[in-house]
Structure 1
Amino acid sequence: MQNYKDLKVWVKAHEFALSVYTVTQNFPKEEVYGLTSQLRRAAVAIAANIAEGCGKKTQSDFANFLNISLGSANESDYYILLAKDLSYIKPDNFLSLSAHINEIKAMLINLITKVRQG
């Protein structure tokens, strides 16, 4: 269908995943298979599902993958809140990540709406 790298939402999602990897480097070692892994997986899934959806033949399939991406964005949103509440990330990092994920969610919702409308 289209090159995922040309989508602004994919660029933002990729940047978010890179930020999550940076921030989670400082998480406690006992979280490596817990919150660190879960947050990283969810963050990567946002951009990965956008990319996968771009390779599908129908707009409906693309919209479904965007919807999955939105689910991963919501999951990431919760994990960064949990990390903040556990004092694994500093408040300023939380605010930055939270603003970033909220922007991505809004972009995904707009794109899903456009794709579903044809």
Structure 2
Amino acid sequence: MQNFKELHIWQESMELVKEIYIITSAYPEAEKFGLVQQMRRAAVSIPSNIAEGAGRNSLLEFKRFLTISISSSNELETQLGISEMMDFIEEDVSKELQHKINILRKRVYSF
């Protein structure tokens, strides 16, 4: 069992959540219960699963929760692509966030 707050992957994913909340607050009102909600849930799922896994008693269980967090990062990256395609965010913002997600995902994979 690890203190999840000390894990860099948890800290980085918490920063990502903050960025997603800030960016999606400017999305069209029509997306409030659609894409915005999905993106926020996917973003929140990443650090939540890291934290839950860190509290488990076995490495195997921890790895399972890390896999879930990776799946959520894939979902979020897809949603950023949709946001860019629909002109809800600029391409450079989308690419920067996708880059951060890719770095985080690599760190989670190597954990």
Could you say what secondary structure the match of 2:2 adopts? coil
Q: Secondary structure at the match of 2:110?
A: helix
| Percent identity of paired positions between Structure 1 and Structure 2 | 35
- 3-state DSSP of counterpart to 2:104: helix
Report matched runs for 1:27-106 at 5 Å: 27-106=27-106
Name the CA distance, whole Å, in 1 between partners of 2:83 and 2:91. Answer: 10
Distance 1:84 1:97 in 2: 11
Gaps of 5+ in 1: 112-118
In 1, Cα distance between the equivalents of 2:101 and 2:89? 15
Counterpart for residue 10 of structure 2: 10
Q: SS of the residue aligned with 1:38?
A: helix
The residue number in structure 2 matching 1:115 is none
1:85 and 1:107 mapped to 2: Cα distance? 28
Following TM superposition, the consecutive aligned residue runs of length 4 or more in structure 1 with deviations greater than 4 angstroms are: none
Cα root mean square deviation, aligned: 0.7
- How far does the alpha carbon of each residue in 1:56-109 deviate from its partner, in whole angstroms, 9 at most, with x for none? 111111000000000001000100011011000112211221111011111111
Equivalents in 1 of 2:96, 2:10: separation in Å?
18
TM-score, length-scaled by structure 1: 0.92
Count of residues paired in the alignment = 111
* C-alpha distance in structure 2 between counterparts of 1:74 and 1:5, whole Å: 23
Gaps of 5+ in 2: none
- Matched residue type, 1:33: F
Q: Quick one: distance in 2 between partners of 1:16 and 1:92? A: 16
Cα distance in 1 between the residues matched to 2:5 and 2:99:
22
Superposition TM-score, scaled by structure 2 size: 0.97
